Amino acid sequence: MITTQLHATRWYEVRHRTNYYYEDYVTASYGRACLRPRATPHQQVTSNVVEVRPGADVLTEHTDLFGNFSHYLEVRTRHTELRVSKTSVLSVTVPEVDVDALNRWTVASAARDLRESADVPRATYAAYTLPSSLVELTPAVREYAASILPPDRPLGEALADLYHRVFEDFQYAKGATGVSTTLDEVLANRRGVCQDFAHLGAGCLRAVGLPGRYVSGYIETAPPKGRPKLEGSDATHAWVAAMVPGGGWVDLDPTNDHFADSRYLTTAWGRDFRDVSPLRGVIYTESKTSRLEVLVDVIPLDPADLPPRLLSVT
C-alpha cells in the first residue's frame, strides 16, 4: 500500500469565467476547451454547467486521448465580447501519501518495475516518460533531475525532495515566463509560475524513467488575514503527478511545497500545458487589439446546505 488514511472530504463550487473583449467585431470564433472536471477515484463531480455568450452555434463534448472532457465550440454571431463560463460542484477525498511505504523502492527499482510491469499500459507509460513540446529532456534538465532523484535514493524521500527543492530553488514570479517558456530558460533564470514548476517536475521524473504527468485544476486559497476574499480572485493551478509501482499516481505541488490533499481539484491531465489548456482557439476579425479577463472562484461548501440531487454523482 502507498497510502495510510484519507484527508477529510471537502465539497466545492468552482466558477471559472473567461471573457474576451475586442475593439472590432469578431465574425467567427472557434475554440477547444477543458471545461468539465474529471471524475477520479478521489474526486466526484455532481454538477457541471457550461455557458457561452453569445450563444454557441456548436457546443460538443468528447473524451480525449488522456481521458479528459474536451469541448469544441463555434460562435458565428458577430460579437465584440465573448464570455465562456463553467460552474461545477464536486467533492474531493484525497488519500495521504505513505512516504515510508514508497521507500520500499529506490528511484531506479521503481523505474524498472514500471518499465517491466504488465499492469501499466505501454501507451500510458510512453506518453509520460517521453519528452513533449514543453517538457524537453535537455542536458540541463537531466542534470537537475540527477541531483534530486539519484538511482539509489528511496522513492518516497526523493518525491518529497523533488517538490521541496523546486520550491526552494525557484522564485514564484508572475509574468516572468510565458506559455512557451522552455525548461532550460526556467532553469537559467530560476523564476516562474506553477505551470513552469509542474513542467520541471514532470521533466525530472521522466529524465530518470518515472512517468510524470502535468495536472491542471484549482486549489482552495485563503485571503490575507483580516481581509475578505474578493470575488474572482482565485486562479487556475498546475502541479505534477508521479506514477509509482502498482500503476498508481502521487500528486505533488512544487509551487506550495507539499503533496496534494483534498484542497486540490482536478480538471485535466496530460503531457504538458498544451494538452490541457482551459480555452484556446482562432478568431476571424479586423480587430487589432483584444483583452482577456479570467475570473475564478473556488468556494468551499457545507454538504448540509446542498440539495439532495447534488449529493449524488450525475
pLDDT in tens, 46-86: 999 999 999 999 999 999 999 999 999 999 999 999 999 99
Structural domain contains residue 211: yes
What would the pLDDT profile of 258-278 be if each residue is shown by its tens digit?
A: 999 999 999 999 999 999 999
Which residue, among 259, 214, 267, has the nearest Cα to 236 in the 3D structure?
267
Structural domain contains residue 286: no
Q: Which residues is 15 bridged to in the sheet?
A: 87, 297
* Shared domain check, 237 and 103: yes
Structural domain contains residue 212: yes
* Shared domain check, 212 and 124: yes
* Shared domain check, 62 and 111: no
CATH number at residue 258: 3.10.620.30
In this prediction, residue 1 has a pLDDT band, given cuts at 50, 70 and 90, of very low
* Shared domain check, 246 and 168: yes
Structural domain contains residue 3: no
Scored b (16 or more CB within 10 A) or e, 50-72 reads bebeeebeebeeeeeebebbbbe
Structural domain contains residue 29: yes
Q: Count of alpha carbons within 13 Å of 273, Cβ hemisphere only?
A: 22
Contacts of 309 (CB under 8 A, 6+ apart): 46
Structural domain contains residue 281: no
* Shared domain check, 101 and 49: no
Beta strands in the chain (DSSP E): 3-6, 10-33, 43-53, 58-63, 69-75, 79-92, 95-97, 171-172, 191-192, 212-219, 236-243, 249-253, 258-259, 264-270, 279-285, 290-301
d(CA 171, CA 132): 24
**For the whole model, what pTM was predicted?**
0.92
* Shared domain check, 246 and 150: yes
Hey, what's the torsion of the CAs at 6, 9, 13, 18, to 10 degrees?
-10
* Shared domain check, 88 and 135: no
Structural domain contains residue 66: yes
Contacts of 1 (CB under 8 A, 6+ apart): 98, 101
CATH number at residue 31: 2.60.40.2250
Helix H or strand E encompassing 147: helix 139-148
* Shared domain check, 115 and 259: yes
In this prediction, residue 3 has a pLDDT band, given cuts at 50, 70 and 90, of very low
In three-state form (DSSP H/G/I as H, E/B as E, the rest C), the secondary structure along 55-89 is CCCEEEEEECCCCCEEEEEEECCCEEEEEEEEEEE
What would the pLDDT profile of 114-152 be if each residue is shown by its tens digit?
A: 999 999 999 999 999 999 999 999 999 999 999 999 999
* Shared domain check, 158 and 74: no
* Shared domain check, 113 and 257: yes
Structural domain contains residue 283: no
* Helix pair 194-207, 122-129: axis angle to 10 deg: 120
* Shared domain check, 182 and 78: no
* Shared domain check, 103 and 63: no
Q: What is the pLDDT of residue 307?
A: 66
Evaluate the CA torsion angle 159, 160, 166, 172 in order and state its sign: positive
Plot region of 151 (φ>0 → left; ψ -120 to 50 → alpha; else → beta): alpha
Here the cell at position 37 is 472536471
Q: Are 2 and 101 within 8 A, CB to CB?
A: yes
Cα three-residue angle 69-75-81, rounded to 5 degrees: 105
Q: Output the CA–CA distances (angstroms, integers) from residue 177 to 146, 182, 188, 276, in the order listed.
A: 24, 9, 12, 18
Which residue, among 300, 247, 198, 214, has the nearest Cα to 41 in the 3D structure?
247
Q: Output the CA–CA distances (angstroms, integers) from residue 237 to 59, 86, 198, in the order listed.
A: 25, 16, 10
In this prediction, residue 312 has a pLDDT band, given cuts at 50, 70 and 90, of low
Residue, of 290 and 231, whose pLDDT is higher: 290
Largest alpha-carbon pair distance within the chain?
Answer: 61
DSSP secondary structure code for residue 35 in this structure: -
Number of domains present in the structure of the chain: 2
Q: What is the pLDDT of residue 236?
A: 93
Look up the domain containing 30 and give its range. Answer: 13-92+292-301
